[in-house]
Chain A
Amino acid sequence: MTMPTTASGNRGLQLEQGLIFELNTPGMTAVDLPPAPKVAERLGGLKNTKAIGLPGLSEPDVVRHYTRLSQKNYSIDSGFYPLGSCTMKHNPRLNEKMARLPGFADIHPFQPLSTVQGALELIDTCAQWLKELTGMTAVAMSPAAGAHGELCGLMCIKSAHEANGQGHRKIVLVPESAHGTNPATAALCGYTVEAIPANAEGRVDVAALKAHLRPQDGKMEIAAVMITNPNTCGLFERDCIAIAEAVHAAGAYFYMDGANYNAIVARLRIADLGVDAMHINLHKTFSTPHGGGGPGAGPTVLSAKLAPFAPVPMVVTAGSGFDVEEHAGHGEARQSYGRMKGYHGQFGVFVRAVAYMMAMGVDGLKQASGDAVLNANYLLARLSAELTPAFDGPCMHEAVFDDRFLKGTGVSTLDIAKALIDEGVHPPTMYFPLVVHGALLMEPTETESKATLDQFVNSLLSLARKAKSGTAEAMFKASPQLAPRRRLDETKAARKPVLRWLPPAGNHEGNGDTKREAAE
């Protein structure tokens, strides 16, 4: 069967859609406004006299535009999304409804505090859940995402070292298998990074770590160790308590990257592992939506040693209500390193997370981590029939396979991923962690049924058999064939970047057009 061609380029429900700039009807708008009162402008000669260059569309055309765009997206609402290390679980609509209550959505960050006591209570409620679940002393609520939470943790650590006369410590140890954000964060905090190798079973090589923790030329230069646990290979770092002890004995701090906290939530308290700081991705563990890239929130729990250095703002109790410490250097923020985010943090994300926590309850959260780990181990067990697991099980919330099963077939991990698109599932994370050759990292999450997992397993086993048959290489290289687009030329995109729309040559109206030459 060959694909019929159509005059429109559309294929049934797959509808082509131009850019808004190509749908322009000059002067058209989808927003009618009341007339402005007649006044003498007070713009001090700074009125813009040039056209901006924005297109005009009517409301029906705008709604149709974005509806068509949305239909070119895969999403957790529409199907299985086992993207390892990303925790694509169901996002309850109750959370959206709660975040839109006027008392939460329509409040301003600088209203008198007497008029926003419910908002401060909401932040405090979220903080209390996080502290109770982790057993940690304090939580900094303002970090905007996971990487921002890492930065918060390392800033606390650097501040603590400086307060203790240990400001000369300039090195952070990070395992080779870490997310890229870990070394990038350490660099933003003014640290240099040394990599710790993994052992054959996919965990931190404790002997190598301890060797790094020895003083160099009589000086101790290690400020902190950042370890993701469960790690990016989907394994729990069994030796984490011994690691924490060794790190502390060296006068350094233990940062645990909480990207995978969803695997262990409500099962143990990370304070009992000797952790000094850990960020929690509310958009993973606590099910706030990823929104095509964000926003998230990365509150960072802190040990008693680091708590004094936490950033402002801090919600504090005051009599029967709440107050906010908004300035470093005062009250509970005496030793705070300062502010890292505007206003009160990702408040709308906190509302969604609290709605989820309340709905799940501590028993539901424990069941969730159990089902997440059960689902991952089920994939590991069933897929091992044809695929090659990178490590022995049991795994935690995600299972990683290497590409040994594809050896000699001419088919790559990328090809398998693209063929899965035609099977109607979002591919797993590819080529990460870096320590696994041709990695396929799968995180099913707890919100998938056994039937969904079985269908995915059948698809993937069938693809693996096809690859091994040696007769389907061309099909793999040509996939995906049934998606809104076939493989896109990423080299071309990077070599000659086109990062914005520009009007056709000859049309020189609008803010951007004079720059046409520069942008080409």
Chain B
Amino acid sequence: MRYLPLSESNRRDMLNVIGAGSVDELFRDLPKAALASARFTLPTTASEIEVERTLSTMAARNLNCGAAPSFLGAGNYRHHTPASMDYIIQRGEFLTAYTPYQPEISQGTLQAIFEFQTQVALITGMEIANASMYDGATACAEGVAMAARLTKRTSALVSGNVHPHYRDVTATCMKFLDVAVECLAPDPTGVEDLIGRISDEHACVVVQTPGFFGHLKDYTALAEACHAAGALLVVCVTEPVALGLITPPGHMGADIVVGEGQSLAGPMSFGGPGVGLFATREKFLRQMPGRLAGETTDEDGRRGWVLTLSTREQHIRREKATSNICTNSGLIALAFSTHMTLLGEAGFTRLAQLNHAMAVTLAERVEKLPGVKLLPNAFFNEFALRLPKPAAGVVEALAARKILGGVPASRFYPTYPELANVLLLTVTETNTAADIDALVAALKEVLS
């Protein structure tokens, strides 16, 4: 087996040193009955070319988004990633390192985390950010748990414009912590009244920008209402490219910003792994979950970085930790950070402008189709449409024409008949004018 370097003679020599007759003898503490009954119906070792054949065949059974005009979003976005980004994250020194517990020989990872923390703080308009969470949905649950700890309150109000997976994951996790999560009905038209519902029992209100149905909203008044009631405002961001163009949550008064960095961090990969973003105010630092890299100096006075404030974390604080997270999304955070570095201020804002302009181009055409209503007035690169017929069937009919024409809201809300005709469409810089022509033409056919 090519991954195993010991030869048979090595094994014999080593057993001699140990004073054991066989490798099996080293497993003598395992229950004999369990050893005897172990039978496995599984394939035996395979060569590289065989594995590659099998998996390539499996992969080819999927319609990949590069092979069809694709307008899918709903929290997961197809963007172009520069070749140098994937090259950098495949360098073995990044790919095959562990968590930087020995800082003298982990300065590369630590400095990259410090830069990532700064970038996340800058684009969200917040003071500090951590080294990453698993994904946006789990970051949202952690944000609500943190708000509950900070306010010592046990309920949360979640907008109907929050991604349903973020809402579901938060509701699941909070159920086990006895925090009541009040989820408002899905809000495709963007008319819900949150301010009128805030009470002084809420730890936080959770909203999203851009919203799940595409709406852009000013949350400044909501933040003020939250603070007046002693609650915190948690803002989710599922499409961070938007932050190159729109007012960041921190400028609207957000206390905690959580999000998903996948859209800037590489392939969609069927939804995972992504990278959870988590930013907040400096004054909430001690209740923050997750790792943090901090600046310091070494014995020669040279600048360097270490993991710090780990008294918040499970390996020190055990059951009193702010979270149980250990492994996070280090490599995807590096991908995110590398891409942000490649873009810079100029590239990031231009990328966002291009996305928005492409989306407006599509919106202007589809809203003219008979029976179609564009739901958000203001949006970034994604918007909900109300169609004259069920969106799930429309998407299937488009797929039959080799167009991945958006995500039907019924995929998330199968029990809401009023959402049956709602379709989410996303346009990014990966779409061409020809893609948009193809989608509009196909939609005309399918809807007629």
Contacts and interface: CB of A to CB of B under 8 A. Distances in A.
6 contacts: A180-B326, A293-B331, A362-B42, A378-B17, A426-B105, A494-B308
Closest 4 CB pairs of A and B: A343-B271, A44-B378, A291-B331, A103-B59
A65 interface: yes
A106 B81 CA distance: 12
Interface string B82-126: 101011111111111111111111111101111101110111110
B159 to A, nearest CB: 16
B161 interface: no
Given A103-B62, A497-B309, A30 B13 contact: no
Task: Report the contact-size class of chain A (Cβ under 8 Å from the partner).
Answer: 35 or more
A361 B40 CA distance: 11
A363 B334 CA distance: 36
B399 A485 contact: no
B93 A71 contact: yes
Interface string A159-201: 0000000000000000000011101111111101100000000
B152 interface: no
B64 A102 contact: yes
A450 B6 contact: yes
Contact of B329 (A54, A132, A294): A294
A359 B111 CA distance: 35
Contacts of A404: none
Given A343-B165, A361-B44, A519 B272 contact: no
Contacts of B380: 43
Interface in A285-334: 287, 289-297, 311, 326-327
B363 A42 contact: yes
A340 B173 contact: yes
Interface stretch (A113-121, A208-216, A405-413): A113-121
Nearest to A511: B125
A264 B24 CA distance: 11
Interface in A72-125: 72-78, 81, 83, 86, 88, 90-92, 94, 96-112, 114-119, 121-122, 125
A103 B169 CA distance: 28
A346 B273 contact: yes
Given A294-B331, A485-B304, A193 B319 contact: yes
B434 interface: no
B299 interface: yes
B104 A484 contact: yes
B338 interface: yes
B346 A27 contact: yes
Interface stretch (A141-149, A248-256, A462-470): A141-149
A220 interface: no
* Chain A contact residues: helix, strand, loop or mixed: loop
A78 B330 contact: no
Interface string B359-382: 011011000000000000111100
Contact of B399 (A17, A76, A112, A241): A112
A37 B362 CA distance: 11
Contact of A361 (B43, B272, B356, B378): B43
Interface string B305-324: 11011010111111111011
A355 B51 contact: yes
A133 B98 CA distance: 26
B341 A69 contact: no
A62 B43 contact: no
Contacts of A21: 115, 118
Interface in B173-201: 173, 175-178
Interface residues of B, number: 218
Interface string A363-394: 11001101101110110111000000000011
B205 to A, nearest CB: 18
B204 interface: no
- Residue of B1, B54, B178 with most partner-chain A CB within 10 A: B1
B109 A292 contact: yes
A433 to B, nearest CB: 11
A82 to B, nearest CB: 11
A40 interface: yes
A108 B65 contact: yes
A421 interface: yes
A122 B58 CA distance: 7
Contact of B404 (A90, A111, A183, A499): A111
A261 interface: no
B272 A493 contact: no
A478 B11 CA distance: 38
A121 B270 CA distance: 13
A105 B338 contact: no
Contact of B216 (A44, A375, A488, A515): A44
B345 A184 contact: no
A98 B18 CA distance: 39
Contacts of A380: 18
B55 A101 contact: yes
Contacts of A438: none
Nearest to B17: A381
A359 B46 CA distance: 5
Contacts of B446: none
Interface string B416-448: 000000000000010001000000000000000
